Structure formats: structure tokens, C-alpha cells
Chains A and B, each alone.
Chain A
Amino acid sequence: MSALFLARIQFALTICFHFIFPAMTLGTALIILISETLYLKTKDDNYKSITDFLVKLLGLIFVMGAASGIVMEFSFGTNWSGYSRAVGDIFGPLLAAEGVLAFFLESVFLGVLLFARKRVSPGVYWFSALMVFLGGHLSAFWIVVANSWMQTPAGYALTESGRIVLGNFGEAVFNPSTAVRYVHTVLASWVTSSVMVAGIAGYYVRRGLHGQTARTMLKIGVILFAVTPLLQLGAGHAHAIRVIDLQPEKAAALEGHFETARGAPIYVAGYVDEPNRKTYGLYLPGGLSFLYNFDWNSEIKGLNDFPEEHWPPVNFVFQVYHIMVGAGVALIALGLFGGYLLWRGKLYQNKAYLFLLPFLIPLPHIAHETGWIAAEVGRQPWIIYKLMKTADGVSVVVGTGEIAFSLMMFLMVYVLLAAVFVKVFLKIVRKGPAV
């Protein structure tokens, strides 16, 4: 196996593992902010119990995210030094901005949330919850900016030596895909935490544990679970249109769409036969065209219009993308059903739904992981879309043996960490909120 391939596998492993945790952090910070705001207003101790409980989980999640996040920052230099040399001018400032303008805020005030409930006034505590929420969301902003710049680069200039230097910082930051991808990413995190909180609270209510606190927590979780996947439907839709406009061959690969045509179909599920350039499966005729601009007859570019060496692995991205969409649709339906039960006043008695809720906790993770895989693999063979090939970004001095060693190391450590994380997470859940 080549060093390039191993480096890609290592990046995929470490980023997929890392993203599990920030995906839980943002939404959990949101729910903490909601419950702490309600506590400040109503002085109802149930809200305080919910905050204290979620803060414990957040502490654990944050540690995992921070520890696995440092790996990512190092990895640009360790494994992708060619990329770092070429784009340090633009990519570096974005990462540095994330540290100075965002991650400090989140990390420093998280200390207050975790350890200073009794040391500060309720107002300062609420303010800290707000700062953790803001810091996390700003942090996500800069990271999504950095990634969006790789998808739709803007605000740059090329030097004679082939380096990519900063042209206009504002254009680089607010490149054409930043806004929609940021909303899509943040909502993914909100969905993830809504389901997590609803799942935990559902378990408590079904078992008759933690009384009113659990019911309040379930209510907050289910309301968000009903609303956020629906918002995500809009954001995902807007994002998909953006991809069709800005990265047409990626969009075509995601949909398994080869021949440029009017009235392009959309596949619900299927299989892409790449050598024969055909896609099989269950489809809705004209669906893709319709979703693009609500015209059943609009033209959608197909892969055949692009040189094959610029295609991503088509069937692979088709499959992961459709898993994401499937998981998303399931989440919308299940969330709306929960909202309906709450509205009808039947939520706390519906044992089947309450039983199901905890098992849904992995589902948003499946959606965001497959979504990111589709976004990143879908950009291949480019590391920066149409500017630089992934193969040119890899570190030339790092050999196959070294990467094989580090890959094994990360694999073993992450499997171990995941196991202990789940164990500790469940332990905190079993202990539950203090009433």
C-alpha cells in the first residue's frame, strides 16, 4: 500500500473519530444554554438538575473532542506538509483564528461550567454557558470555513512558484459554500444532541426514574428533535443545490448521474456500475431536476461531461450519501412523531416510543459521518477543488512504515478510548441528574 493511501486512511480515521465529539458538543451546549436560561427565569430546580447533568456529559465529550482535535491540527504538518506549504497563507490564518477567537473562549469558560456552580452567581454561570455555546459555535465556524475553502476556494492568488497566497481574506472566509455548509454542520450537531438528550430522558421516563426532571428533559429533547431535523431538511436541500452549482461532478457522483439530461431522476437507493456508467435502483423520474429548482425538466450535468480522472469513486460516495439521506429522512419522521405525541399529551405514556428513543442515539452520528465522508471523498481527486490534487499534498518525507505505525497506534488507542468513553458515558447516565 502506498504512503498516500495510508495517509488518507489515517486522516479519515482520525477525523471521523474526532467529529463524533464536536457533533455532540455544539448541540449539548445549546440545550445547556436553554435549560440554564429557563432556570434563571423560573428558578425551577428541575432545570438546574438538567444543566448539571448535561454539563457532566459535556465535560466528558469535550475532553474527547479536544484530545482528538489536537491530532487534526498536527496532521496538516505531519502528514500533509505539501498541502501546508502550498496553502499555509490561507489555511493557517483560519486555524489560528479558530484558536484565538473561538477555542479559548469555549475551553476557558467550560472550566466555570464544570467546576464553579457554587463559586459564581447564577448570572455569571449563565454567562459562562452562553460563552461555551458561542465559543463552540465560533470554533465550528472557522473549521467549516477552512473546509469550505477547500471545496470552493475563493479570495486567493497564485504565485509563480505555485504557492497559493491570500488575496482577499473576506472572500476566502465567506467563500461561496461557507454559509450553507456552516448551517448544515451546526444543525447536524443540534440534531445529534437533541436525539441524545431525548434518548436518555426517554429511558428515564420509561423506567420511572428522576420524576419531573426526566419529563422536562424529555420535553426539551423531543421538541428539539421534532424541529431540528426539519430545519436540516431545508439546510441540506440548500446545500445540495449549492453542490450542483459549484461542484457539478461531485453532485453527479452523489446521485449516480452520468448522462447530462433534462428531467434527471433521483435514486432512493441503488447501485452504481462504474465501468458501464450505469446506475440501478429505485428512483423517482425527474426527481433530481425537480429538487434542483422545482422544475421537473431542468438540466442536470452528468459525470460523462467531465474527464474520468476527475471523478471521485462514484459508487462509494453514492452509497454513503444515500445512507445519510436515509438516516436524515428517518430522523425527520421519528422526530415529528415524537412531537405529535407530545402535542397530544401521550408522550410520557407511549412505552414503545420511549423504548425506541435511546436506540436512535447513534442514528444522527451515522448521518453526519456519512455526510462528511460523501463531502470529502466526493471532492477527490482534489485536496483543494480544481487547485491542488490530494496526491500533491502528502508529506514526502514520511514513509509507508512510519504511517503504518501511527495508523496502528491511532486505531488501537481510539478503539480503547471509544470503549472507555461509552462505559463512562453510560455510568454518568445511570447515575442520572441529581434531584
Chain B
Amino acid sequence: MDYLQNYQNLWFVIILVLFAGYSLLDGFDLGIGALLALLGKNKEEKDILIHSIAPVWDGNEVWLITGGGALFAAFPQAYATAFSGFYLALMLVLLALIGRAVSMEFRAYDEARAGLWEKIFIAGSALAAFLFGVALGNVVYGVPLNEKMEFAGNFFTLLRPVPLWFGVTGFAAVLLQGAVYAVRKTEGALQERCFRAARVLTLLNFATATVYFVMMVLTFDDVVTNWLFYVAVLCTMLWLAELLFSLHRKHEFAPFWEASFAFVGLWLALAAIHFPHLIKASNDPMLSLTIYNSSSSLRALKIMTVIALVGMPVVIGYTIFVYRIFKGKTKASGPY
């Protein structure tokens, strides 16, 4: 039994890494999407912003697809409960993801409606970023479950203040990812504006993250005795402070990493209060879905571990290779 538990623990970590990786990578392209109209003041600037993410957004989104697949494979009960339970919310996520994906391509070719596609791109990016946080907030805060592991609430169950604040915090972090990535890829007046936006968003993140951490202390009993939680708080706050200095000194490259580490702090805090749960039951703790009562068999977890340990280093290797191809400033003259 202990042997199986090792794999269950490992897969909690792997899935956390996949979703965190998704939030950092797709985070910056969702963030640039949501900030498009604020950062880009004319068509040329908007083109630069979109071209900065065009070669990489699809690879970034595969982190979500793989994270979802990994959740399905390792913890099918949690995947089934959450995805069927949060049905309407996830339909909205899909709508948002479809809209933003196609609008990048359509905007370039369907000039008559370029403005409309731009709005869909912005709205889709923002909505997806926000809803991911709300969904996550719900599984951490807890939702009513029945004894068959099925969701027993409704759409409005999902819209309680604590989960909504997860959404706000995640959204603010995604916006910051977008701004600091834009700082890297732009020049001149546009970059100046990105620097200003990044500074404002860093301050905003100080506020949202502070509320997020305080809320956790007030909501979850055993947080104060959890060392990982303190590491998480320090991680987020110190990197946000460092980020503020970097932005002040007009560093172009460090801010992306600093914002990413600050975002990782938010994930660590979540892991600290959530482990070993997958979906907490708000009505009765005994009904919660944990990594121990929701997992696949030992054999499936072993196979998956081999696939992940062989596959992911290769994936990360060629992803770095391709990002290096696109390093440097993005130009407006497009590939479309």
C-alpha cells in the first residue's frame, strides 16, 4: 500500500507541475491577450503583441491538454467529478479558448471584421484566465459532493466569494505574466507602456496575493502550522518585491522570471493547503476526493510515470530550442 501511495504522491506533484507550467506559459499569452487593447494603441503595436505569442501559444496550450490528460489518467474520479460537476463553467472555458485561438488567425485574414476578432481575442483570453482560477478555487475551498463522488451543487455554488477570489488572484497573475513577457519582446514607446503596466500590475499582485494568503489563513485551520505555506508566502512576496526593483531599473529579461517565481508561490500555497485532496467536500470531509481514493491502479500509474519521465524532459528540451529560435524583439511585419 505504501508503494502505491508513493506513486499517488508523485502524481499529485506531476499534475501540479503541469498545471503550474500551463499557468506560466499559456499565462503570458492569455495575459497579452487580455491586455491587448491596453498595451497596444494602434494596429502596428497590436500586431507586434500578437506576433510575439503567435509562434508559441499553441505549444503552451498543450500543457493544459497534457495536464487534463494526466488528471484523467492518474485520478479519473476527480477528473470525472470536476468536469461533469462544473459543466456550464467549463463550457464557458471552452467557448473562451476556442474564441481566442481562432481569433488570432481570423484577425489577420478577415480584415473587415478585424476589430470584432480582436474583441473576441481579448474577452476569450480574459474569461479563460479568470475561470481557471475560479474552478481551482472551488476544488480547494470545497464543493458539496454525494457518497457516489458526484457533484451535488449547481452553477451558482461555484460563484462563492472565496473561489471567486482565487479567480481574481489568478487573473491578476496572468495579466502580470503577459506584461512582463511583452516587456521582453517589444521596444520603444510600446515597451515603455508595457513597463508601466507591469509596474501597476506588480502592485496589484501585491494586493491580490496578500488577500489570497490572508484568506487562506482565515479559511483553512491547519495552514498556520504548515511550513510550505510560509515558503510560498515568502516566495511570492520576495519575488514581487524583486520584480518591482527590476522594473524600476528597466531590466528586460529578469521580470519574466521574477513574475513566474511569484506565480509559483501562489501554486505552492495551494499545494500546502490542499494536499492530499483533489476535491474537498464542503458538506462532509469524509466525502472528499483525495489522491488515495481517486487514483488509477498502481500499474497505470507506473506506466504513466515512465511516459512522463521519458517524455517531459524531451518536450522541455525542444520547447527551449524553439523559444531560442524566436528570441529577440518582435517586429510588426507579419508572417500572416
Contact = CB atoms under 8 A, between A and B. Distances in A.
B121 to A, nearest CB: 12
Interface of A: 56, 59-60, 62-64, 66-71, 73-74, 76-79, 81-82, 84-85, 87-93, 95-101, 103-105, 107-112, 114-116, 119-120, 124, 131, 165-167, 169, 395-398, 402, 405-406, 409, 413, 417, 420, 423-424, 427-428
Contacts of B51: 115
B230 interface: no
B105 A413 contact: no
Interface string B50-84: 01001110110110111011101111110111111
Give the one of A63, A116, A417 with max B CB within 10 A: A63
B315 interface: yes
Contacts of B62: 99, 103-104, 107-108
B312 to A, nearest CB: 6
B282 to A, nearest CB: 16
A397 B154 CA distance: 10
Interface stretch (B205-213, B243-251, B253-261, B300-308): B300-308
B84 A100 contact: no
Contact of A406 (B59, B91, B319): B91
Contact of A424 (B109, B319, B335): B109
Given A77-B82, A87-B76, 17 more contacts: A59-B105, A64-B102, A68-B98, A70-B97, A79-B84, A82-B80, A84-B80, A88-B296, A89-B76, A96-B70, A96-B304, A111-B326, A165-B297, A165-B299, A166-B300, A397-B150, A417-B98
B325 A112 contact: yes
Contacts of B110: 420, 423-424, 427
Interface in B297-332: 297, 299-300, 303-304, 307-308, 311-312, 315, 318-319, 322, 325-326
Nearest to A421: B102
B151 A84 contact: no
17 contacts: A67-B98, A68-B98, A77-B72, A84-B72, A85-B77, A85-B149, A95-B68, A96-B308, A101-B311, A105-B315, A111-B54, A111-B56, A115-B326, A396-B150, A397-B85, A405-B91, A427-B110
Given A81-B83, A90-B300, A96-B304, A409 B95 contact: yes
Nearest to B83: A77
Interface residues of B, number: 65
Interface string B181-217: 0000000000000000000000000000000000000
Nearest to B65: A99
Nearest to B101: A67
A67 B104 CA distance: 12
B88 interface: yes
A51 B146 CA distance: 56
Contact of B66 (A100, A124, A167): A100
Give the one of A77, A95, A166 with max B CB within 10 A: A77
B275 interface: no
A77 B93 CA distance: 14
A73 B58 contact: no
B241 interface: no
Contacts of A396: 84, 150
B105 A63 contact: yes
Interface string B80-119: 1111110110110111011001101110011000000000
Nearest to A100: B311
B73 A95 contact: yes
Give the one of B93, B152, B296 with max A CB within 10 A: B296
Given A397-B151, A424-B106, A107 B58 contact: yes
Given A89-B297, A409-B91, A424-B109, A105 B318 contact: yes
Nearest to B106: A420
Nearest to A82: B80
B79 A77 contact: yes
Nearest to A92: B73
B85 to A, nearest CB: 6
A74 B93 CA distance: 10
Interface of B: 51, 54-56, 58-59, 61-62, 64-66, 68-70, 72-77, 79-85, 87-88, 90-91, 93-95, 97-98, 101-102, 104-106, 109-110, 149-152, 296-297, 299-300, 303-304, 307-308, 311-312, 315, 318-319, 322, 325-326, 335-336
A70 B66 CA distance: 10
Contact of B80 (A81, A107, A119, A428): A81
Contacts of A108: 56, 59, 62, 315, 318-319, 322
A115 B58 contact: no
A96 B79 CA distance: 13
B303 to A, nearest CB: 5
Nearest to B82: A77
B251 to A, nearest CB: 25
B91 A73 contact: no
Q: Do most interface residues of chain B lie in helix, strand or loop, or is the interface mixed?
A: helix
A112 B54 CA distance: 10
A413 B106 CA distance: 14
B65 A70 contact: yes
Contact of A89 (B81, B90, B109, B296): B296
A76 B297 contact: no
A424 B105 CA distance: 9
Given A70-B94, A78-B91, A111 B55 contact: yes
A69 B297 CA distance: 27
Contacts of B319: 104, 108
A64 B106 CA distance: 11
List 10 A-B pairs, minimum CB-CB distance, nearest first.
A88-B76, A77-B83, A92-B73, A99-B66, A111-B55, A96-B69, A100-B311, A81-B80, A81-B84, A395-B84
A398 B105 contact: no
Nearest to B299: A166
A266 to B, nearest CB: 41
Contacts of B58: 62-63, 66, 107, 110-111
A153 to B, nearest CB: 15
Contact of A88 (B59, B64, B80, B307): B80
Contact of B90 (A78, A92, A397): A78
A398 B84 contact: yes
Contact of A107 (B59, B69, B102): B59
A423 B75 CA distance: 42
Nearest to B334: A115
Contacts of A56: 336
B126 to A, nearest CB: 17
Give the one of A59, A79, A131, A166 with max B CB within 10 A: A166
B64 to A, nearest CB: 7
A167 B296 CA distance: 12
Contact of A104 (B66, B68, B101, B296): B66
